[in-house]
A and B are shown apart, each in its own frame.
Chain A
Amino acid sequence: MSASAPPFLSTKRAPIRVSGPRVIRNPVWVRWLFMTLALLFVGCFLVLPLAAVFTEALRKGFGPFFAAFTDPDMLSALRLTLLTAAIAVPANLVFGVAAAWCIAKFDFRGKSLLITLIDLPFAVSPVISGLIYVLVFGLQGWLGPYLGAGDHPWFGEWLNAQDIRIIFAVPGIVLATIFVTFPFVARELIPLMQAQGNDEEYAALTLGATGWQTFWRVTVPNIRWGLFYGVILCNARAMGEFGAVSVVSGHIRGVTNTMPLHIEILYNEYNFVAAFAVSSLLALLALVTLLLKTLVEWRAQKGLT
């Protein structure tokens, strides 16, 4: 791979490489077999469930389908999901760019530790991601007792009056979402920025640009497609997260239910059409994400060649 190619293009490049001489030597039936297997797998595990979501949603026609979106609890879930994404994605955008910039452009002690920590949310189960917040901010947790019980000698009364709620409220949901979507932007940018090296920044600096100018006019334009790609993935996960949010939500209808949690509730209330209607909205979001992703990849490749 050439030094300037961003890593997310590797999937695009891969077919070009495998069509090299080794593969050509393989018999035709082997290639057909693998292709059929792959298509069958994709069909069974991706296309079929997706089709099922939409057929179930429209089982009783368009009337009940659209009726599902007028329920006030559903609208509140939608608002909460959008709000959560609107906070989590920019937060991780800023953090991701800062972290990737530090890691790719500088050498410092503890760098590999930082990289490992960024990967942590990918490594642990989302349920654990939620539980850590319960353990920290829960009424029986580390900080929880100070947050509302009013037992603290100095701040107790003030805290009581503020009525700060972290878990079982919107802040907890946002925190849990930020945690699980932490790595998306940074992970996308680190290899890209490492591959690009520092040469262009050095050139800018020697020509008299300030640090900010270098960042905005050299670094950002170089990484913008990788950045956009990371944001899309981050957003998709932020809106779809179930496990971590389920632990910290408390499931109060119309207050702390996000869309994925609302789907579970509808399903458990035998309201299958509404459950699948809301699911189809999330599935549509996934499809839009895929479309955007393809568009970004196409643009990025066009920009490079």
Chain B
Amino acid sequence: MKFKSLLFTAVALALAAGAHAKSIELLNVSYDPTRELYVDFNKAFAAHWKAKTGDNVVVKQSHGGSGKQARGVIDGLPADVVTLALAADVDALAAVARLIPPDWQKRLPDNSAPYTSTIVFLVRKGNPKGIKDWDDLVKLGVAVITPNPKTSGGARWNYLAAWEYAKRKLGSDDAAKEFIAKLFKNVPVLDSGARGSTTTFVQRGIGDVSISWENEAFLAIKEFGADKFEIVVPSISILAEPTVSVVDKVVRKKGTAEVAKAYLDYLYTDEGQEIAARNYYRPRNQAIAAKYTANFAQLKLFTIDEAFGGWAKAQKTHFADGGTFDQIYAK
């Protein structure tokens, strides 16, 4: 009798374990400043997925300079999804390692960029050097902090925004190149990622102005107080579109295709857009953008397609080996 009841309990337990919710683990390989965003978002998505399917999903994160992170995935970092700083880095996954199809960017709305941002200036309180626009950055005696465009996505947006400003103001690509060369002469430290640059500026106190993601600048002010730093919005800047993609080859192998896709789709839902807006990313959803309009300065934004003919071209002209950045920096 005792044995029978024991057996019964064992069988019941085994059955219960079998019916127990699946545990799924996703790896999101992302760029530097999204740490806080994805802490919030992963929590919300886990709750959403649990309510929808009953399964537990844990999303692991890896952060670093966007170019470096793409390189890691190419070398075998098993990312289910990448949420990188720019399309060129995701393109590399298709071009170098054929991990995703070449037309990946058409798979999700808005060029696969669920939120956008722009490039602004973070200066010390009271703006002692009187920085107002891009041409103040090339003045003598202004120390500018920006990360290395070779490894950082944010740095490439910075570079292109400054380039386009100079080109529009001075009239030619040659003049713009000279402008950028002057700007980089004012850069004392080139960190490998945007977050490294922010800590250099904020924590180590180096530099007069940090060219920064808008969200990164807001976060620094939130962490360190509005009595220490302020944001300066230039007359014109670039519409930065951080792009996301499922890594097909990895999810096929791990059997996580469905949940990985749902994860990225969730970025486009009202809740996903709210979380992005709360973390100072500009939401695509107009209704939610309107709610947070006080957070985001109105300024003239140009897209990479308008100004540079898309990422593939900009990457080749400016950041590939021997591109304009190499020419400027070798001098």
**Chain A residues packing against B (C-beta within 8 Å):** 134, 137-141, 144, 148, 160, 163, 165, 167-168, 250-255, 265, 267-270, 272
Contact = CB atoms under 8 A, between A and B. Distances in A.
A182 to B, nearest CB: 23
A253 B60 contact: yes
Contact of B27 (A163, A252, A265): A252
B65 to A, nearest CB: 11
B61 interface: yes
Interface in B63-83: 63-64, 72, 74-78
Interface string B77-91: 110000000000000
B223 interface: yes
Interface residues of B, dominant DSSP: mixed
Contacts of B224: 270
Contacts of A144: 75-76
B199 A268 contact: yes
B61 A167 contact: no
Given A268-B199, A269-B35, A252 B75 contact: no
Given A148-B253, A252-B27, A268-B196, A139 B60 contact: no
B282 interface: no
> Which of B74, B75, B195: most chain A CB closer than 10 A?
B75
Given A140-B96, A268-B199, A270-B223, A253 B62 contact: yes
Interface string B262-282: 000000000000000000000
Interface in B188-224: 195-196, 199, 203, 223-224
Given A139-B75, A268-B195, A251 B64 contact: yes
A113 to B, nearest CB: 31
> Which of A138, A148, A250: most chain B CB closer than 10 A?
A250
A254 B26 CA distance: 13
A1 B27 CA distance: 58
Q: What class of interface size applies to chain B in its complex with A? A: 20 to 34
B249 to A, nearest CB: 8
A168 B63 CA distance: 13
Given A139-B74, A139-B97, A250-B77, A160 B199 contact: no
A252 B60 contact: yes
Contacts of B63: 251, 265
Interface in B21-73: 27, 32, 35-36, 60-64, 72
Contacts of B36: 269
A265 B235 CA distance: 34
B253 A167 contact: no
A69 B60 CA distance: 19
19 contacts: A134-B75, A139-B74, A139-B76, A139-B97, A140-B75, A144-B76, A148-B253, A168-B78, A251-B62, A252-B60, A252-B61, A253-B61, A253-B62, A254-B60, A265-B63, A268-B35, A268-B196, A269-B195, A270-B199
B73 to A, nearest CB: 9
Contacts of B223: 270
A292 B168 CA distance: 66
Nearest to A272: B203
A267 B62 CA distance: 15
Contact of B76 (A168, A253, A267): A168
